[in-house]
Amino acid sequence: MIRTAFFLSLLLPAALSAQTDRPNFLIIVADDVGMAELGPYGGEIETPALDGLAQEGIRFTSFYAQMNCSPTRAMLLSGTDNHLAGLGTMGGGFQSPNQDGVPGYEGVLSDRVVTFARLLQDNGYRTYATGKWHLGFSPDNLPVARGFDRAFTQSGGAPADSHFNLNGRDGVPGGYFENGVNVTGMPVADDFFSSDFYADRIIEYLRSDPEQDRPFLAYLNFAAPHIPVQAPDTHIDLYRGQYDDGYDVLGEMRLERMIDMGLFPPGTGLSERAPTVTPWEELSDAARRIHARRMEVYAGAIDNMDDNIGRVFDYLKQAGLYENTVILFISDNGAAGFFGWNDGPAAARYAAADNSIENLGREGSQMFYGPGWGSAGSVPFNLFKRHAAEGGIRVPAIVSGPGVGARGAISHSVLMVSDVAPTILELAGVEYPQGSYGGREILPQTGRSFTRLLNDPAAVVHEADEVLGLELWGRIAVRKGDWKLLRSEPPFREDRWYLYNVIEDPAETTDLSGSMPDKLNEMIAAWEEFRTQSNVIPPHSLPNLIRPMWLIDDTPHPDPMP
């Protein structure tokens, strides 16, 4: 069933009708992947499609996303800070009471911004989306209402219970939608897996559109390897035995390869151990076996994702579209280094799941790969998803295609995910509207185009005196030149300001707030500037829904081994 589009694509002629000179765009978003986990960044997981993309284009080492998924996606599509674009915090009960009803905190993509998909659509592009959406599930918030001609999307943040079906879950809004129609519970083939399906659908949309002479935007969002971490039978055992030495050794090996590749300078060290990580040598033999199996499954999920990216690339090449397609790959945040849930319906699902070592990653399991592997996926950075430390917000990003003249290059220039939309619009020759759109007032974009960087990887997009900020749930990161101001929460740090030079110290090991009070005050003033300009409303409290279900890593506790 889900393979039909792939086999039909093999029957295509070598080239389709000639397109205009305007480029196509393929935007690929992975869900919860750390930089060090991918081949182009020194990871041992086999990712030949991404390896090839990096050889043809540019890898970025200082590309910042938000510390959680939907705020990143709001910034990506709008080119505007998430606090202005409607995702100042995640929707669905994640708001603090003082944020309720505040513009910019709607929990869905605001109508005060315009997606680049809508503007490309207005200017003759055919537009498609598949996979995770997470920006609203009412009719006016689904992809077909925000600029996509055709879309098959998962409206929520995670698969309801499995990557092996399209089922919903009691009490959870949204589900799966195709072209605005709720298809939750749709029958699927026996070999269904989300990554396979989303790649198939994007190929089908591209292949079946009768207007092949028009350029396209394809927005492919994988739900994997987001929890529950699962992999199809074709990939679940590919890495058996490869992680028996543990996450501590793996992190060291990955960092060594990153330095050898020129991604980070010699002497770059590892970050301090997160308090939720038990040293590998202190685990029992049984615990090590289970932890190693978790990572094997996780690696299989990423390997499968890359295979599907390769299938999309193969289709584009076969159809004569690849050479004129700008391709951008990113992750929506850092690796997901948490255990699971302590309380609520999600914890009940975890307790009821078959998480035996034989079934980990298969149908019926609810698996997390944990903070040890998450830390190894974040090297050399500290911490992981949901944190303002570098490991939560500094993500892999690769761009290739027409206009990218620096093949195989590495860029250390600082970029924000909000810079993507203005870059795409500039490459397409489309201007973002000023003041109003469709009879409503809209906000200006806050991102900057990085088109000049595509031929000069050393080009500066954000000047040293420009203030760049990220905030979510009161966790704060501010970049200004080489400097970073950080505020997190116990037990990872005390509840105060920290100051780092993240060029010299990307692992955030040396806090300079005490020795450089003038620089600290300058950065606190930068935070106030960002807070005011970007409509940041720090939460007075974190709602109960967040702490037990999502911020479990805030309290060190024994690993809930199955």
Alpha carbons 79 and 426: distance in angstroms, whole number: 12
Residue 500 sits at φ, ψ, to 5 deg, of: -135, 150
* Nearest Cα to Cα of residue 132 among 66, 39, 214, 69: 69
Burial class (CB in 10 A: 0-12, 13-18, 19+), 459: middle
Residues 6+ apart with CB under 8 A from 352: none
Q: What share of the chain is helix, strand, coil (3-state, %, to 5)?
A: 30, 15, 55
Residue 387 sits at φ, ψ, to 5 deg, of: -120, 150
DSSP 8-state secondary structure symbol assigned to residue 527: H
Task: Please name every residue paired with 28 in a beta bridge, in sequence order, or none if there are none.
Answer: 220, 329
Alpha carbons 261 and 77: distance in angstroms, whole number: 31
Token couple for 225: 């390897």
DSSP codes of every residue in 118-146: HHHHHTT-EEEEEEE--S--SGGGSGGGT
CA distance to 78, 126, 282, 363, per residue, from 427 (Å): 16, 16, 53, 43
Largest CA distance in the chain: 67
Residues 6+ apart with CB under 8 A from 42: 36, 254, 255, 256, 257, 258, 260, 261, 263
Token couple for 229: 């971490």
Q: Are the beta carbons of 562 and 355 closer than 8 angstroms?
A: yes
Q: Residue 426: in which H helix or E strand, if any? A: helix 420-428
Task: Please name every residue paired with 216 in a beta bridge, in sequence order, or none if there are none.
Answer: 126
* Catalytic annotation, residues: 69, 134
Token couple for 191: 């070999």
Q: Is 154 helix (H, G, I), strand (E, B) or coil?
A: strand
Q: Residue 346: in which H helix or E strand, if any? A: helix 344-352
